Structure 1
């Protein structure tokens, strides 16, 4: 019988995409063949130990989530709050391209992504607020269950920084590889919710 005071949450970074190594926030891009392989290897061949799947609606996440949910008859929810931050004018550009046009701004972003908003992009404050809003709901919606969340690197960094009480300037110190799985456990008691990191990387 499941312990309703504990929720296990997996944060799965989508695999490599056909667009390559570019800024993908609003950009819809299919998974590449290596990207599909990364995700399948991470989850394994047997029946996964998940009770439900929540995914970003972007195709680089949703395509695999839909495939896995259908294969194992798991409930699937699409949550727009789990989309990557919108990079504005940087969308679809490689870091090298942005370095040629906005070197100072990119350097500031590497130092502290919370302090830089590309032209036409989403502010980090708005991004973090929507991601943590989705994160806060998971232990309530999936009490006593194991839920796999298929999402993006920026989303995973925000959640991990929140759980580990990391300052904004350390966000990019969290290496999030394509097809990597991070596991967390959220314990619910009279004092509230208590999250802990169980493992990082697949």
Structure 2
């Protein structure tokens, strides 16, 4: 366990706020006034799925946005389990979002207000695994490198069960930040209270793999 990340800003708020921002900026062909609760009918044909946000590869923007994130490949594997029994929780929905290699967030940071890449929803498989294909994040100002995660009991995305940040280990960050395209540096002062730490394997040429079990 390491420290909890400091600060809270617009990009920390989660799926409800993020999706409302996407809709307000008309980045999808959905009716005005649609909400996350109204979007998700809990089956594969729901408007939430049709919107494009339910996807494993989050490197490109969805809907009418066309941008793509660059950086070292990162395969994110999150296992969702019961805090009581330790058993996997299939079909639970995971919303994951993160900053890009420059430490900036789509939707919110300068020049990215019309992009929505590096955010997506996946459901856990029969073994509890939810997987995303992404890029290794940079370090947002004042933050330790991390991934944002929310967990819901289904694609209906109601009844938020978990909201937190999964940090990335310093040794992996240093390897990635030494490659072309990254300018981030680690700031130990960005850590304070305990939070989840991922295990990261792989290399910068073939890509990194981040793994973490989250119990709800």
Q: TM-score, normalised by structure 2?
A: 0.25
Structure ranking higher on relative contact order (CA contacts 8 Å, 6+ apart): 1
Q: TM-score, normalised by structure 1?
A: 0.26
Greater helix content: 1
Greater strand content: 2
